[in-house]
């Protein structure tokens, strides 16, 4: 009887601990943070394009674009991109969100990327 | 001893059940919160990309107008017809990141200041500018996230302009035609010599244009002299959205003089 009692109690405890581990809310917090950071990165991309104007992106050389991207980056958002497949700017080692947009201007493919740094 | 064991088992049941329920409640709450955050993030991405799509449609519309102006001479005697035929449309669709999109754009010459905003993505080419060549651009955007919700669709009407001094260029062309008409209306001879003399005397008030040329031909008629004349002006280096372009403005007219005073040794 005692063995049965201990067995049922232990089995129930294992089941509960397993369920608690499976239904852990911590991975969800991480996913939410990533989604929010991705959205912040896409806003940064749109904000940069709006700030420099499409005519700049359509006529700038790669070096001009790279200088502009670097000047617009800050501690929390790093910008990168390129023209015609040649890119500049690198993702920071520890970033939590990213976004990139590619489009064609005057026959050249332009790419703008943004990475949001981790806290 | 047996009762104690049962009591301990029951207590552990209660404790673990409480822990399990508390964790499940927290999980459900976080899951709901995640859904809201993901939905909100998707909406932010769609909105941000939608703005870029509208900017791109304005850019492409200005490029289209620029190409049209570059390759088609504007007749200054009927500019309205030329400007009204300057229309275009384009469609674009694809997937960018997880955003699936379709954008349909139509553009046309804007006669007057329309009740529309300037494009935020075009800076000096955005908005309505009196005296310049203005376009009204209508863009319909439909977006979805991974082909699913949230869906986002909107219609945007915006204005943009090319810095072409349209009114002054047309006015100068018409002035030149008027000057030619006045000079050629009293030809001394209905021939190349008479036309040359008249052209030399025409007052060219459009010297601020990059290049211009005028010409005329005279044909003797039984009752007098028929004269055809024309003017062509080209403005180069106009700053367009994708680089410089040129605009050619042409005008032509004809007149008949009843009694040329000299006899025509040859016709021009």
pLDDT in tens, B128-175: 888 889 999 999 999 998 777 788 999 999 999 999 888 888 888 898
Residues in chain A with CB shorter than 8 Å from the CB of B58 are 54
- Angle (CA) A47-A51-A56 rounded to 5° is 120
Instruction: Give the model's confidence band at B267: pLDDT under 50 very low, under 70 low, under 90 confident, else very high.
Output: very low
pLDDT for A21-66, tens place per residue? Answer: 887 777 666 777 888 888 899 999 999 999 999 999 988 999 999 9
Q: Which residues contact B30 (CB under 8 A, 6 or more apart)?
A: A25, A28, A29, A32
Residue B9 has pLDDT above 60, yes or no: yes
Q: Which residues contact A39 (CB under 8 A, 6 or more apart)?
A: A97, A99, B40, B41, B42, B44, B45
Query: What is the chain B residue with the closest CA to A58?
Result: B242
pLDDT at site B206: 53
How large is the ipTM? 0.79
pLDDT for A88-103, tens place per residue? Answer: 988 888 899 999 999 9
pLDDT for B180-218, tens place per residue? Answer: 888 888 888 888 888 888 887 765 555 555 677 888 888
- Which has the closest alpha carbon to B166: B177, B158, B174? B174
Whether residue B143 contacts residue B153, with contact meaning beta carbons closer than 8 Å, is answered with yes
pLDDT at site B266: 46
pTM higher than 0.95: no
Cα–Cα distance, B61 to B46 (Å, whole number): 22
- Map tokens 């399990």 to a residue: B20
From the list B16, B38, B55, which residue is nearest A54 (CB)?
B55
Evaluate the omega torsion of the peptide bond into residue B150 and state whether it is cis, within 30 degrees of 0: yes
B186 touches chain A (CB under 8 A): no
- Which has the closest alpha carbon to B56: A103, A110, A83? A103
Query: What is the chain A residue with the closest CA to B7?
Result: A5
Whether residue A86 contacts residue A77, with contact meaning beta carbons closer than 8 Å, is answered with no
Backbone angles phi, psi at A61, to 5 degrees: -80, 170
Beta strand B133-145 with B148-162 is antiparallel
Q: Quickly list H helices, chain A.
A: 2-22, 26-52, 54-59, 62-72
- Map tokens 């009293």 to a residue: B186
Considering only residues B8 and B82, tell me which one the structure prediction assigns the higher pLDDT.
Answer: B82
Whether residue A5 contacts residue B6, with contact meaning beta carbons closer than 8 Å, is answered with yes
Per cent of chain B over pLDDT 90 is 29
Question: Does the distance separating the beta carbons of A38 and B34 come in below 8 Å?
Answer: no
- Work out the minimum CA distance from B158 to partner chain A, whole angstroms: 15
- Which has the closest alpha carbon to B268: B187, B165, B195, B180? B195
Residue B243 has pLDDT above 50, yes or no: yes
> Which residues of B, range 209-268, sit inside 8 Å of A by Cβ?
241-243
Whether residue A45 contacts residue B48, with contact meaning beta carbons closer than 8 Å, is answered with yes
pLDDT for A3-25, tens place per residue? Answer: 777 788 788 888 888 888 887 77
Which residues face B220 on adjacent strands? B225
Question: Does the distance separating the beta carbons of B51 and A46 come in below 8 Å?
Answer: yes
Residues B59-68 as b/e (b if ≥16 CB within 10 A, e otherwise) read bbbbbbbbeb
Mean pLDDT of chain B: 84
Instruction: Give the model's confidence band at B263: pLDDT under 50 very low, under 70 low, under 90 confident, else very high.
Output: low
């Amino acid at each position: 009887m005692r063995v049965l009692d201990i067995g049922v109690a232990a089995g129930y405890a294992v089941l509960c601990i397993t369920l608690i581990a499976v239904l852990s809310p911590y991975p969800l917090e991480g996913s939410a943070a990533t989604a929010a950071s991705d959205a912040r990165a896409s806003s940064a991309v749109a904000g940069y394009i709006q700030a420099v104007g499409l005519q700049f992106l359509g006529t700038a050389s790669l070096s001009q674009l790279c200088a502009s991207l670097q000047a617009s980056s800050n501690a929390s958002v790093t910008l990168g991109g390129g023209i015609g497949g040649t890119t500049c700017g690198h993702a920071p080692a520890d970033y939590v969100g990213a976004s990139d947009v590619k489009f064609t201007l005057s026959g050249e493919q332009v790419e703008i990327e943004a990475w949001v740094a981790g806290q | 001893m047996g009762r104690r064991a049962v009591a301990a088992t029951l207590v552990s049941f209660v404790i673990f059940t409480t822990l399990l329920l508390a964790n499940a409640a927290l999980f459900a709450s976080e899951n709901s919160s995640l859904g809201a955050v993901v939905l909100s993030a998707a909406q932010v991405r769609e909105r941000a990309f939608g703005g870029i799509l509208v900017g791109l449609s304005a850019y492409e519309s200005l490029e289209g107008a620029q190409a049209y102006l570059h390759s088609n001479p504007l007749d200054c005697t009927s500019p309205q017809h030329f400007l009204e035929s300057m229309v275009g449309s384009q469609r674009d669709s694809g997937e960018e990141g997880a955003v699936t999109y379709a954008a349909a754009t139509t553009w046309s010459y804007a006669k007057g200041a329309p009740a529309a905003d300037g494009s935020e993505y075009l800076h000096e080419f955005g908005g309505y500018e009196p005296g310049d060549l203005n376009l009204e651009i209508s863009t319909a955007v439909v977006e979805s996230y991974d082909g699913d919700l949230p869906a986002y669709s909107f219609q945007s009407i915006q204005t943009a302009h090319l810095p072409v001094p349209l009114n002054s260029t047309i006015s100068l062309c018409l002035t030149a035609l008027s000057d030619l008409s006045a000079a050629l209306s009293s030809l001394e001879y209905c021939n190349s010599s008479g036309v040359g003399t008249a052209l030399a005397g025409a007052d060219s008030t459009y010297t601020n244009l990059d290049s211009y040329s005028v010409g005329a031909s005279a044909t003797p008629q039984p009752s007098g002299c028929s004269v055809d004349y024309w003017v062509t002006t080209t403005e180069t280096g106009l700053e367009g959205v994708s680089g410089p372009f040129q605009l050619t403005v042409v005008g032509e007219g004809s007149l008949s003089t009843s009694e040329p005073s000299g006899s025509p040794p040859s016709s021009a």
